[in-house]
Amino acid sequence: MRMIRVALPRVILALALTGSLHAGAPTAEAETARAADAVVDELSDEVLLAEIQPPPPLVGSRDAAVTTTKLDTHPIPVLDYLKSLSGHGVVAGIHNREPNLRPAQQTERMQKLVGRYPGLWSGDFLFSAQDVKNRWTMIEECRREWEQGSIVQLMLHVAPPNQPEVCRWQGGVLSHLSDEEWKDLTTDGGTLNQAWKGRLDSYAGYLDYLQTNGVRVLFRPHHEMNQKGFWWGGRKGPEGTAKLYRITHDYLTGTKGLTNLVWVWDMQDMSRDFAEYNPGEAYWDIFAFDVYGDGYGQSWYDYILPIVGSKPMAIGECAGLPTAQMLAAQPRWCFFMSWAELTFTKNSDQQILDLYNSPRVTTRERLPRFK
């Protein structure tokens, strides 16, 4: 996904001018992106990248609002719930992109429009100086959202292992490793392999904090595997992107001992070669499909069904929202997640209200209690 760029004060510039890939167009608005990257360079030295202790729980209006109106029912695993939705309903979700300083701004905007909160909140570790600096703010929001009753998800728009943790969008998140670098990354003990595992050590600190607080996270690393713009994407076959996904999975679950992650394998509606990127049945719990082209077509749905089998499947990202009629015709989708501000620029208020008011669509207040 690509961010919408606007003129902001200098410190905020790095927040607003670095963003996410949209529909395979990584070179758009290149001049503005270069300006944003210059600010990132200027701010990079201000960020302490050493591991830090989790902050104490915040106090104030947002923490005071951490309440739930759930019925007094036995909590159930979130994955079991999503499995139970197959053929019956779908959870509404929205991604909260930059800045990590305000990690619920899109969720709050949806609540103001609809009068209810989406059932799924999504955040991201990100890569700019200020977003890296505010990762704990984002993680605290993830915890709060879970405690308020939401399903929560985390993504990794992060720097490649041959660059510092704080990087540019163009030439950073959107970059290409040589074949030699890729082999080094995916070979145990390689220089880039060790660098990536060092990054995972850092991410694991945040994820372990969530685990200690009872938060179960939908985790979606290396998303849009068939999207060649990302440094991790577009490498087919057993030694390609799927192998990096397996390395990430095995390190976080095995070496780091994380048990609170629901693993999401994600592809985009740009090529029908999903078998080339499948990391293996044991490595993913949910399949997610990002729709920025013709992905709502019935032929895509029919193509995905045999790949997924009985596992849950979701609309992992979208700009234009699905309609209630489409969801009824394609009942296996268990959630949809619209992409941040594109939710409101690519859909009218009435389209959003029509979808959220559909009896098939579940928002936060209708979710069960999770464990």
50 within some domain: yes
The domain in which residue 83 lies consists of: 10-366
- Would residue 295 count as lying in a domain? yes
Decide if 272 is inside a domain. yes
DSSP state of 237: S
Q: Answer whether residue 4 is part of any domain.
A: no
Does residue 280 lie within any of the structural domains?
Answer: yes
With respect to residue 2, please indicate whether it lies within any of the assigned structural domains.
Answer: no
Say how many domains are in the chain: 1
At 319, give phi and psi (nearest 5°): -100, -65
Say how far apart CA 82 and CA 192 lie, in whole Å.
36
pLDDT at 74: 87
Distance in angstroms (rounded) separating the CA atoms of residues 292 and 302: 18
Determine, yes or no, domain membership for 307.
Answer: yes
pLDDT at 40: 45
DSSP H helices, the chain, are 10-16, 30-44, 61-64, 78-84, 105-114, 129-133, 135-148, 179-185, 191-212, 241-250, 298-308, 324-329, 342-345, 349-356
SS3 call for 217: strand
Let me know if residue 35 belongs to a domain.
yes
| Beta-carbon contacts of residue 327 (< 8 Å; ≥ 6 apart) | 90, 333, 336, 358, 360, 361
Mean pLDDT by groups of 10 residues along the chain of 371 residues: 38 38 40 43 43 47 40 84 95 96 98 98 98 98 98 98 98 98 98 98 98 98 98 98 98 98 98 98 98 98 98 98 98 98 98 98 97 91
**CA separation for the pair 75, 214 (Å, rounded):** 12
Q: Which residues pair with 123 in a beta bridge?
A: 154
Q: pTM of the entire structure?
A: 0.85
| CATH number, position 310 | 3.20.20.80
d(CA 12, CA 10): 5
Q: Is 24 exposed, middle or buried (0-12, 13-18, 19+ CB in 10 A)?
A: middle
* Nearest CA among 322, 200, 338, 303 for reference residue 261: 200
